[in-house]
Structure 1
């Protein structure tokens, strides 16, 4: 999704930072139309593409070309399949989009059908780490680390407006991180095993496992972040 899409609204002493309504409408309307157009173009050009020696998937293209003469069924089918694919992509995009509601007593992080509410008293620092919004707690633990596609400036303005401690320089404990290597003697055995599993999840780009294993590490008093496929870790203040 485009990085500059955002809106910030003040509602009953809350500030909501999210994608604007027009961007949502474009996503739900534009992706099905684009999908239908792409499917129609593929159906119309399948025979020609299959004749090119350097184009892969000759078999599937020939199959598409073989039914292309059955008009208008072929065109209707292509438009329907492409439109449905666009709707699926729009649904996935909506589920992955973060919205942030900031109030004086709480923060609400919403993504799809799930939401995380964090009390103001638990938050000691808020900052952006690359394209991740991070809320830090009293023991230097990370209460939340959420990827976002919103304006970092608008997020900062929302938190500062409600009195949250925004860390302009980023993570106050960044210098405490050290790179993870297998068999690090300073890691407890359980944390070492989880970091090893998380490294495999990073290689596979398995976002669900990456997040769940990060949660397991947090229970063990380990904060983890990554740069590409490299993992870095530190202990929370309670476990240091």
Structure 2
């Protein structure tokens, strides 16, 4: 397995590196959402004008209400709604801040902070960024749309070890109810997490919180197509600051 680590004078000091979506990409997101919103507003206006000419058509009340609104208002309102959606999308992008003594991950307004020395290995697992502790437990696992080479270079420049794949990948086993070999209580948590995973998807807050509960029991869990795979590690990882 290929691992990279840069040491020497360039990793000394207390330099700061911030990683987020490029400004151009962010601007494009806002423009696209604003245009989509304006288009939706224009379409509603057009359909409302058409529906009121058809006495037999449904939704006459809402159509008449829409036609009573001045023409530019609906596209403008749609643009504002689109910008709001763009803001939500931006809020859900991972931001990484690195210095030579710590790493801070910000996602959906939630910050996780880790001392440099607590992080053993960093790698990308599909669309997720993973930080491993020295005991083999996962300190963090977050959705990350940033360019992999850009992220890898930033971590190695600050003295972290970057792996091209999970060094514990072959240790994972698929979870099924009442799986033997798990710590007491882990099967119940995995069952509850499986239900949330199937109903709400992997990005749901309950799914994330139950992952953290498993980590306290010394269990690492990863998801593939709403299936859970698990492994154990020596002891529960310390909580993020």
TM-score, normalised by the number of residues in structure 1 = 0.82
CA distance in 2, matches of 1:119, 1:195: 29
Q: Of 53, 63, 66, which residue of structure 2 is paired with 1:65?
A: 63
Aligned residue number for residue 21 of structure 1: 23
Alignment pair present for 1:210 and 2:207: yes
Measured on the aligned residues, the alpha-carbon RMSD in Å equals 2.4
Deviation at 1:114, TM superposition (A): 2.4
CA distance in 2, matches of 1:49, 1:176: 61
User: Helix, strand or coil: the match of 2:220?
Assistant: strand
CA distance in 2, matches of 1:18, 1:69: 42
Native 8 Å contact 1:202 1:210 kept in 2: yes
Q: Of 115, 132, 144, which residue of structure 1 is paired with 2:140?
A: 144
CA distance in 1, matches of 2:97, 2:217: 29
CA distance in 2, matches of 1:162, 1:69: 59
Unpaired stretches in structure 1, ≥5 consecutive residues: 1-11, 52-57
Q: Deviations over 1:150-183 (max 9, x none)?
A: 1011111111112211112x11111111000011
Alignment pair present for 1:121 and 2:117: yes
**Greater relative contact order (Cα < 8 A, sep 6+):** 2
CA distance in 2, matches of 1:27, 1:74: 28
CA distance in 2, matches of 1:26, 1:94: 11
Q: Which 4+ stretches in 1 moved above 6 angstroms?
A: none
Aligned residue number for residue 155 of structure 1: 151
Alignment pair present for 1:94 and 2:90: yes
Deviation at 1:76, TM superposition (A): 4.1
CA distance in 2, matches of 1:142, 1:59: 55
Deviates more, 1:158-167 or 1:223-232: 158-167
CA distance in 1, matches of 2:83, 2:199: 26
Aligned pair count reads 219
Deviation at 1:31, TM superposition (A): 1.7
Q: Of 215, 232, 237, which residue of structure 1 is paired with 2:229?
A: 232
Aligned residue number for residue 106 of structure 1: 102
Native 8 Å contact 1:44 1:68 kept in 2: no
CA distance in 2, matches of 1:222, 1:50: 61
